[in-house]
């Protein structure tokens, strides 16, 4: 963030309390930098977890993840989940309870907070599309190389909870 999003003035760096922050000398306000919100959908079928492979052009292309995406400005988190699941897997889901929430620190310049929901599939036919180029249901033993460490944590928890088959 180099310029003020409100007035376009070049931002300065200034100590605000004990934190060095971007600061707009025109608006006389600090510019807070916050993590993005992301949402992921846990779909289980007979003890197997649905994963997608990240397509060429995506970050971490070729690695696998629990289907996920960012929430658009003005979009409800559950609506974002339904949209992302539809786009990447062709499945229409109904979000159930939040399974877990974690901060993602793996990308220093794209910090985010991820919210993993358990999902029921209500319609659709499974196929990879959009940001994904393959889809697969896996047991714990079959999990391929993953893009995100927090997906590893979720997968371990699913196995510990008896929701994901180990082999
Ligand atoms: Zn400004």
How far does the centroid of ligand 1 lie from the alpha carbon of residue 17, in Å? 20
Residue 4 structure tokens: 């003020």
Residues 80 and 128 sit within 8 Å (Cβ to Cβ): no
Taking the CA atoms of residue 83, residue 161, residue 100 and residue 125 in that order, the dihedral angle to the nearest 10 degrees is 0
Residue 123 structure tokens: 């319609």
- DSSP for residue 140: G
Q: What is the pLDDT of residue 91?
A: 97
Are 74 and 55 found together in one domain? yes
Around ion ligand 1, residues with a beta carbon closer than 5 Å are 4, 6-7, 9, 24, 26-27
How far does the centroid of ligand 1 lie from the alpha carbon of residue 72, in Å? 24
How far does the centroid of ligand 1 lie from the alpha carbon of residue 78, in Å? 33
Are 119 and 97 found together in one domain? yes
CA distance 96 to 77: 12
Strands 36-42 and 112-124: parallel
List of the chain residues with pLDDT < 50: none
Q: Is the pTM of this model over 0.85?
A: yes
How far does the centroid of ligand 1 lie from the alpha carbon of residue 19, in Å? 19
How far does the centroid of ligand 1 lie from the alpha carbon of residue 3, in Å? 8
Q: What is the pLDDT of residue 16?
A: 86
Q: What is the pLDDT of residue 1?
A: 65
Q: What is the pLDDT of residue 109?
A: 86
Number of domains in the chain: 2
Are 76 and 16 found together in one domain? no
Token pair 């025109």 in the structure block, residue: 26
Are 97 and 110 found together in one domain? yes
Domain with 23 in it? 1-33
């Amino acid at each position: 963030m180099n310029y003020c999003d409100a007035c376009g003035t070049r931002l300065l760096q200034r100590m605000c309390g004990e934190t060095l922050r971007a600061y707009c000398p025109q608006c006389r306000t600090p510019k807070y930098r916050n993590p993005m919100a992301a949402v992921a959908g846990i779909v289980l079928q007979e003890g197997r977890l649905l994963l997608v492979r990240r397509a060429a052009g995506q970050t971490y292309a070729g690695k696998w993840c629990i289907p996920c995406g960012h929430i658009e400005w003005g979009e409800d988190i559950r609506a974002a989940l339904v949209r992302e699941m539809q786009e990447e897997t062709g499945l229409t889901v109904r979000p159930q309870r939040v399974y877990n929430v974690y901060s993602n620190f793996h990308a220093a310049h794209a910090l985010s907070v991820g919210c993993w929901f358990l999902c029921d599939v209500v319609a659709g036919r499974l196929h990879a599309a959009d940001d994904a180029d393959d889809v697969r249901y896996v047991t714990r033993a079959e999990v391929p190389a993953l893009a995100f460490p927090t997906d590893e944590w979720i997968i371990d928890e699913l196995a510990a909870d008896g929701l994901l088959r180990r082999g």
